[in-house]
């Protein structure tokens, strides 16, 4: 039997229609839950911090042992997670709300995964902290609805920021200040304290309620949906409700070796950063950890409410749930707080849990290296949407389905340009090492396996020369791979000639002069 051209075309068309239907039938809802400034070690009993709801989520999905933010400061991390692209491709270099920021918006032609999901027919909602642009908001990038977002000019004119008329708390839980800190020449500011009052009167309860009602409404529709729920906590100041704070005994918290850090052999800015925090005692360390852990547990309770509400929709089995944070927080390690130019694990390593029923195995874990901007590529992949135009990351789907896969990348690249101040930094991370290029100080290299607290900078240690050279070569290899402007960019004629001012040609792996 032979097919004529018309039959052949019909056959191809029918096959394509079947494929499209199969994709439509299996593509999941996406529930993305994110906190601000939450360390990797806060969940799953990795520290003294308790997160029963996130632990339950981890037990029903896949958790990541080596998950990193690609940039340990709010705006770049968020713009990267939305675009799946590095700063030099999405346009956000540092804090967009800050007057000296390089850009206050993402590039005009930036494409986010929400643009792609919109085109693929998803109904999309954004609840809570945005902070990826000071000019445009979620409604400018394919989201249909917003609630309680960080104010940006477009959102103020847009549809209601409270579409489900969630009652706002009548009384705010009052703050009882604890420790005030002071930078040289600054007024004192609150770093931790606590609140007293009803849990339902907190901002985080209100935000969770906005997310829950929007999700329940979306679940009644026929479209697949994508909802983002973003909490501002446990960002400093750490001000948990007293009932959570009472669950933590500061005296039971162990002070780590890094608290006695001398900064010998490290770039000068580490010591300067630590000294900025003034005279710090071991009690400060314990108290700040107790308040921080309590704050994390308080947010965990609200995340639990959102996850319970998902179960109530009856759609949990066709919803991909992702939990992560924009970056971590030092919380006293190396006598430092918050994040920024500090390349330590406390600032860069973040929690990541993915539950995708039918694909991820309950209670599974992976030690493969991942960066949270891979999520953007993952979402367009599972939604059957058009790929993002950036080659800066990759879909996690192969790893979700085969978490022990040994063909996964063995290195990741992080990049930083400063928060309110401008600095340039690049970080290469492998299973064992971390190499940090500092444009404003000596470079760093740490052996994470034998020195997990990153106390010894081995960058100039002759015994480690082979490893340090390998890491430096890997760093420039990735900068070239991801078209970093500080890498050895191809010239218009296709050759790579280097630029001795900012990007000389570096030696490849294994080569020495």
Q: Residues in contact with Ca ion, total (CB under 5 A)?
A: 3
Single out the segment in contact with Ca ion by CB under 5 A; choices: 46-54, 69-77, 280-288, 413-421: 69-77
**By C-alpha distance, which of 374, 371, 326 is closest to 83?**
374
- How much is the CA Rg of the chain, to the nearest whole Å? 23
3-state secondary structure of 309: helix
Single out the segment in contact with Ca ion by CB under 5 A; choices: 52-60, 73-81, 296-304, 317-325: 73-81
For 54, phi then psi, to 5°, come to -70, -35
CA distance 454 to 469: 18
**Residue placing its CB nearer to Ca ion in the complex, 102 or 489:** 102
Q: Is residue 74 part of the contact set for Ca ion (CB under 5 A)?
A: yes
**By C-alpha distance, which of 122, 81, 29 is closest to 352?**
81
CB of 451 to Ca ion, least distance (A): 27
CB of 382 to Ca ion, least distance (A): 26
**By C-alpha distance, which of 181, 99, 103, 184 is closest to 136?**
103
CB of 94 to Ca ion, least distance (A): 12
Q: Are 227 and 125 in contact (CB under 8 A)?
A: yes
**Residue placing its CB nearer to Ca ion in the complex, 76 or 125:** 76
CA angle 323, 328, 334 (to 5 degrees): 155
Nearby residues of 281 by Cβ (< 8 Å), 6 or more positions away: none
Q: How many CB atoms lie within 10 A of CB 310?
A: 21
**By C-alpha distance, which of 470, 393, 394, 478 is closest to 432?**
470
Residue nearest to Ca ion (CB): 74
Single out the segment in contact with Ca ion by CB under 5 A; choices: 321-329, 377-385, 403-411, 413-421: 321-329
**Residue placing its CB nearer to Ca ion in the complex, 96 or 139:** 96
**Residue placing its CB nearer to Ca ion in the complex, 131 or 474:** 131
**Residue placing its CB nearer to Ca ion in the complex, 27 or 129:** 129
Beta bridge partners of 353: 63, 323
**Residue placing its CB nearer to Ca ion in the complex, 140 or 326:** 326
What does each C-alpha distance from 469 to 19, 243, 427, 430 come to in angstroms?
A: 48, 51, 14, 13
Single out the segment in contact with Ca ion by CB under 5 A; choices: 72-80, 140-148, 354-362, 490-498: 72-80
CB of 174 to Ca ion, least distance (A): 25
Chosen residue from 31, 36, 290, 419 binding Ca ion by CB under 5 A? 36
**Residue placing its CB nearer to Ca ion in the complex, 35 or 457:** 35
CB of 414 to Ca ion, least distance (A): 15
**Residue placing its CB nearer to Ca ion in the complex, 326 or 443:** 326
Rounded (10°) angle between helices 203-219 and 282-313: 20
Tell me which H or E stretch contains 370: strand 364-371
Single out the segment in contact with Ca ion by CB under 5 A; choices: 28-36, 112-120, 165-173, 496-504: 28-36
**Residue placing its CB nearer to Ca ion in the complex, 332 or 403:** 332
DSSP 208-260: HHHHHHHHHHHHTSSS-EEEEEE--TTPSSB--BHHHHTT--GGGSPPPGGGG
Q: Is residue 145 part of the contact set for Ca ion (CB under 5 A)?
A: no
CB of 240 to Ca ion, least distance (A): 18
Q: Is residue 34 part of the contact set for Ca ion (CB under 5 A)?
A: no
Single out the segment in contact with Ca ion by CB under 5 A; choices: 94-102, 111-119, 249-257, 324-332: 324-332
For 503, phi then psi, to 5°, come to -150, 75
Q: Is residue 326 part of the contact set for Ca ion (CB under 5 A)?
A: yes
Chain residues binding Ca ion by CB under 5 A are 36, 74, 326
């Amino acid at each position: 039997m032979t097919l004529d051209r018309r039959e052949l075309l019909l056959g191809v068309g029918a096959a394509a229609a079947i494929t499209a239907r199969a994709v439509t039938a299996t593509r999941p809802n996406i529930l993305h839950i994110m906190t601000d400034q939450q360390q990797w070690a806060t969940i799953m009993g990795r520290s003294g911090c308790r997160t029963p709801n996130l632990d339950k989520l981890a037990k029903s999905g896949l958790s990541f042992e080596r998950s990193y933010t690609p940039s340990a400061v709010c705006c770049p991390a968020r713009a990267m997670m939305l675009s799946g692209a590095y700063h030099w491709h999405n346009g956000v270099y540092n804090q967009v709300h800050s007057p000296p920021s390089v850009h206050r918006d993402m590039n005009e032609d930036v494409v986010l995964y929400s643009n792609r999901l919109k085109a693929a027919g998803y109904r999309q909602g954004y609840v809570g902290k945005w902070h990826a642009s000071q000019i445009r908001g979620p409604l400018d990038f394919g989201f249909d609805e917003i609630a309680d977002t960080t104010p940006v000019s477009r959102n103020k004119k847009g549809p209601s920021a409270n579409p489900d008329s969630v009652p706002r708390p009548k009384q705010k839980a009052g703050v009882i200040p604890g420790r005030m800190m002071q930078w040289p020449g600054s007024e004192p500011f609150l770093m931790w304290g606590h609140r007293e009052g009803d849990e339902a009167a907190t901002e985080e309860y209100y935000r969770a309620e906005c997310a829950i009602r929007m999700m329940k409404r979306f679940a009644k529709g026929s479209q697949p949906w994508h909802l983002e729920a973003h909490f501002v906590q446990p960002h400093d100041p750490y001000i948990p409700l007293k009932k959570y704070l009472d669950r933590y005994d500061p005296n039971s918290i162990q002070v780590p070796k890094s608290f006695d850090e001398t900064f010998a052999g490290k770039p000068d800015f580490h010591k300067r950063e630590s000294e900025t925090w003034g005279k710090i005692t071991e009690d400060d360390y314990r108290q700040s950890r107790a308040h921080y852990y309590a704050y994390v547990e308080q947010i965990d309770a609200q995340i639990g409410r959102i996850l319970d509400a998902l179960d109530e929709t009856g759609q949990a089995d066709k919803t991909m749930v992702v939990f992560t944070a924009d970056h971590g927080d030092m919380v006293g390690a190396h006598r430092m707080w918050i994040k920024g130019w500090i390349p330590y694990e406390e600032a860069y390593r973040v929690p990541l849990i993915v539950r995708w029923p039918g694909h991820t195995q309950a209670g599974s874990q992976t030690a493969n290296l991942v960066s949270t901007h891979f999520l953007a590529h993952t979402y367009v992949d599972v939604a059957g949407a058009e790929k993002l135009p950036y080659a800066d990351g990759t879909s996690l789907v192969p790893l979700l389905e085969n978490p022990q896969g040994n063909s996964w990348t063995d290195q990741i690249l992080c990049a930083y340009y400063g928060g309110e101040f401008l600095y340039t930094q690049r970080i290469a991370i492998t299973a064992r090492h971390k190499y940090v290029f500092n444009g404003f100080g000596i470079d760093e290299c740490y052996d994470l396996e034998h020195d997990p607290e990153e106390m010894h900078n081995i960058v100039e240690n002759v015994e480690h020369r082979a490893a340090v050279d390998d890491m430096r070569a890997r760093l420039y290899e990735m900068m070239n791979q991801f078209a970093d402007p500080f890498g050895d960019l191809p010239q218009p004629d296709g050759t790579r000639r280097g630029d001795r001012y900012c990007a000389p040609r570096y030696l490849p792996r294994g080569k020495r002069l």
